[in-house]
Amino acid sequence: QCALWRANACCTANTSAAAHEDRSHLYNFNWNHCGALPPKCRRHFVQDTCLYECDPNLGPWIDQSDTSWRKERILHVPLCREDCEQWWHDCKDALTCMDNWHRGWNWSTGTNTCPRGAACRRFGAVFGSAAALCERVWSGSYRYTELPRGSGRCIQMWWDPALPNPNAAVAERYA
């Protein structure tokens, strides 16, 4: 899925391949923490990883982070409405035990597992809306917008591969 960025990417072929793994060495994060993530949902998390790792246009939203596992993160990236809505639609029946996938996990096994007492529930119950999913799953990395793809004012996770990356113009606008 990271092929969209091949013309101008910040990531290597190895990073692209790792983005597709269930327990990627990139973060040692297990998407299947509440059973297998359905393929239609999983593709959005793969695309999210490709965007984060490969898109050179996220500069305006890079924020300093003082954690043990990273020094920078993206914060409040304005995500196009359709990307958020489709992510929500494709994942609302999938299961998770956490509404913030950045913190709170049990890492005692070396990979993330649900903390004691956290029950697996449908994304629909955990997040409640497309906006909540996009804004909370990665603790504010994304900001839900009503802006449509092609507006030049929101970041797109998906676009026609025959066209250039539309996020370059968006980054210029916000720089």
At 1, list the tokens.
């899925």
Structural domain boundaries in the chain: 2-174
Residue 84, pLDDT > 90, answer: yes
Query: What was the pLDDT predicted at 50?
Result: 86
Query: What was the pLDDT predicted at 5?
Result: 76
- Indicate if the alpha-carbon torsion angle 156, 161, 163, 164 is positive or negative: positive
Mean pLDDT score of the chain, rounded to an integer? 89
CB 93 within 8 A of CB 123: yes
Query: What pLDDT digit, counting tens, does each position of 3-61 carry?
Result: 777 777 667 666 666 665 565 556 688 899 999 999 999 999 989 988 988 889 999 99
Is the pTM of the predicted complex or chain greater than 0.85?
yes
